[in-house]
Amino acid sequence: MSEQYRVRVTKDHLVFSAAHFITLSGNICERLHGHNWRVAVEVAGALDENFYVVDFIALRDAVQSIVAELDHRMLVPTEHRSMSVWTSEREVEITFDDRRWVFPRDDCALLPVENTTAERLAWWIGRRLREALPADALRLVTSLDVEVEENFGQWGICRLAIEASQAGPANQGDRS
């Protein structure tokens, strides 16, 4: 039997406050509202020569950097099939049916997702995290789970497989 280990990072500072709205059933749009979102990340894989899956500090810092991109922003889904998003240097305009919103560009996080649900935010954070971590940190990692809590006890979770092609030399980092 092959062993698999997991490393989990969830900290009080891995949170972001952000506004959003989601659409339901194709033609229903929630009111603009906000949450204090919380993020947890779990990485699974074999142990490296240092006897750890991934460096806690590298993982924590990468997640913190991504979370900071979302903090105090309007989360805008740029891939929604019925929503139009126009951007300029100064503004973001969003239309959906007969509704229209205009936000300062600097206050928006433009996300390549279909809807800003907790599940799709978990997917987006996971993709960004997979890109942010050095390849050597992912050498023996098989999966990456990202959990986004939008409200107490309500989590959206996404598991991303980590492919062997993302591997690099062994991670020699410090785990302090």
Extents of the domains making up the chain: 5-166
Which helix (H) or strand (E) is 68 found in, with range?
helix 56-70
For range 138-150, the mean pLDDT = 95
The predicted model scores a pTM of: 0.89
Res 175 pLDDT > 60 = no
Convert the pLDDT of each residue in 74-122 to its tens digit: 999 999 999 999 999 999 999 999 999 999 999 999 999 999 999 999 9
Q: HSE on the CB side for 26, CA within 13 Å?
A: 0
CATH 3.40.440.10 applies to domain 5-166: no
Q: With cut-offs at 50, 70 and 90, classify the pLDDT of residue 3.
A: confident
Angle between helices 56-70 and 118-132 (to 10 degrees): 130
